[in-house]
Amino acid sequence: MLDPEVPALSITDLGIVRDLRETADGTLEVVLTPTYSGCPATEVIEAHALRAIDAAGLGPARIVVQRAPAWTTAWIGDDARRRLREYGIAPPGHLVVDAPRPMRFVPLVRSTCPHCGALDTERLSAFGSTACKSLHRCRACGEPFESFKAI
């Protein structure tokens, strides 16, 4: 199923679906980790996932929301990053999850414009249409765009 806030990708592409397991009574458990602990789309994602499982005839199912470990943009694959760019959203930069990083209060890297590929961009707002995206503008082509936050 497509993510309700980023319809260019499925919830599997985004890494929201963490695991599928069958319980002793034959119920399919779908383990979801929302992109943010307070993500307003979590309930919609749960309902849509259950409807998709039911429509596919996969039997009884239930959703288990697992918030730890916290979701990270490292779980978004390269193909999904390409599709985000094609959709017009700058994908997050790759994070090295294992390496400790000093705390910084400024962006470490600029977002690349998904329209023209330029690196000369500026952040207009820390938040875009959803909490997981920020609003940017390309200084080269002048187009505004959203950028998926790297977390």
Domain coordinates in residue numbering, the chain: 1-71, 77-148
Top pLDDT among 111 and 105 is at 111
Separation of alpha carbons 85 and 108, rounded Å: 20
Separation of alpha carbons 28 and 143, rounded Å: 45
- 1-71 maps to CATH 3.30.300.130: yes
Q: Report residue 61: phi and psi, to 5°.
A: -145, 160
Other CB atoms within 10 A of residue 127 CB: 12
The pLDDT > 70 percentage for the chain reads 89
Give whole-number Cα distances, 22 to 30, 60, 61, 66, in Å: 9, 10, 9, 16
pTM exceeds 0.85 for this model = no
Q: Mean pLDDT across the chain, nearest whole number?
A: 85
Would the pLDDT of 95 be above 70?
no
Mean pLDDT of 56-62: 92
Separation of alpha carbons 79 and 100, rounded Å: 27
